Amino acid sequence: MNAPIAIRTFGDVLDDYEAERKNPDLAPIRLGLADLDADMRGISAGQVCLIAARTAVGKSFLLASVLDNFARSRPKDGALALSLEMPATEWAERALAIYENVSPETVEEWAQAGTIRERSQAFRQRTQNVLVCESGLRLAQVPTAIDQAREKLREAVPLRLVGIDYLGLVQGSGNSDYERSSGIARGLKQIAKAKRVALLVAVQLSRAAGDGSEAVGLQMIRDSGAIEESADFVIGCWRPGNAKGLPYEEQSDLENTIRAKLLKNRKGPGGREIDLAFLAESRKVYAPETENDRDPF
Give alpha helix (H) positions in the chain. Answer: 10-22, 34-40, 59-73, 88-100, 104-113, 116-119, 121-126, 142-153, 177-195, 224-230, 248-253
Place 295 in a pLDDT band, splitting at 50, 70 and 90: very low
Mean pLDDT of the chain: 88
Place 223 in a pLDDT band, splitting at 50, 70 and 90: low
The helix/strand/coil state of 256 is coil
144-166 pLDDT, tens per residue? Answer: 999 999 999 987 899 999 999 88
Helices and strands counted in the chain (H then E): 11, 9
| Segment holding 200, helix H or strand E | strand 198-204
Q: Which residue has the higher pLDDT, 244 or 124?
A: 124
Place 264 in a pLDDT band, splitting at 50, 70 and 90: very high
Nearest CA among 176, 253, 241, 236 for reference residue 49: 236
The pTM of the whole model exceeds 0.75: yes
Residue 296: predicted pLDDT: 40
Q: How many CB atoms lie within 10 A of CB 35?
A: 16
CA distances from 109 to 105, 116, 209 (A): 6, 9, 36
Largest CA distance in the chain: 69
Which domains are present in the chain? 27-290 (3.40.50.300)
Cβ atoms 188, 139 nearer than 8 A: yes
Which phi-psi region, left, alpha or beta, contains residue 46 (left: φ > 0; alpha: ψ -120 to 50)? left
- Whether the per-residue pLDDT at 33 is higher than 90: the answer is yes
Cβ atoms 174, 182 nearer than 8 A: yes
Give percent above pLDDT 90 in the chain.
58
Report how far residue 297's alpha carbon sits from residue 283's, in angstroms, rounded to the nearest whole number. Answer: 21
Average pLDDT of the residues in 87-109: 95
Backbone angles phi, psi at 2, to 5 degrees: -70, 145
Report how far residue 231's alpha carbon sits from residue 227's, in angstroms, rounded to the nearest whole number. Answer: 6
Average pLDDT of the residues in 53-69: 92
